[in-house]
Amino acid sequence: DQQVKQNSPSLSVQEGRISILNCDYTNSMFDYFLWYKKYPAEGPTFLISISSIKDKNEDGRFTVFLNKSAKHLSLHIVPSQPGDSAVYFCAASASNYGGSQGNLIFGKGTKLSVKP
């Protein structure tokens, strides 16, 4: 049972436009959400996070939106740059889930291609 779902395996966007990556989750116990970026041959790199007590968090060109009632979050990248081309993973965790707050449940990722 996949608790974190990224239904779009890939997304192609023109440079300078907005990239919107989506993520859905099923476990209502999740209270902390993160986005990671992964380049080939490297480990995932933390991008941005949001706690369930917020509905928006912004860091430069990256904004994450959380809709708890819909169990949905999204990552907006504005403006998109060719260097943003990577696989983006959505992840979630819950306090006291399996005895730990820290272990993250990941989606399968969305491959973003930003074209010049």
Partner 1 sequence: DSGVTQTPKHLITATGQRVTLRCSPRSGDLSVYWYQQSLDQGLQFLIQYYNGEERAKGNILERFSAQQFPDLHSELNLSSLELGDSALYFCASSLASGHSPLHFGNGTRLTVT
- Which parts of this chain interact with partner 1 (CB under 8 A)? 4, 31-32, 34, 36, 41-46, 49, 51, 89, 93, 95, 98-109
- Min separation Cβ 82 and partner 1, Å: 22
- Min separation Cβ 60 and partner 1, Å: 16
**Centroid of chain to Cα 39:** 15
Beta carbon nearer to partner 1, 14 or 28? 28
Q: Which of 20, 21, 12 is nearest to 89 (CA)?
A: 21
| CA atoms within 13 Å, Cβ hemisphere of 91 | 21
**Centroid of chain to Cα 59:** 13
- Min separation Cβ 116 and partner 1, Å: 27
Beta carbon nearer to partner 1, 17 or 54? 54
Cis peptide before 44 (omega within 30 of 0): no
- CA separation for the pair 32, 68 (Å, rounded): 11
- CA separation for the pair 18, 63 (Å, rounded): 11
Beta carbon nearer to partner 1, 32 or 112? 32
- Min separation Cβ 13 and partner 1, Å: 22
Beta carbon nearer to partner 1, 65 or 106? 106
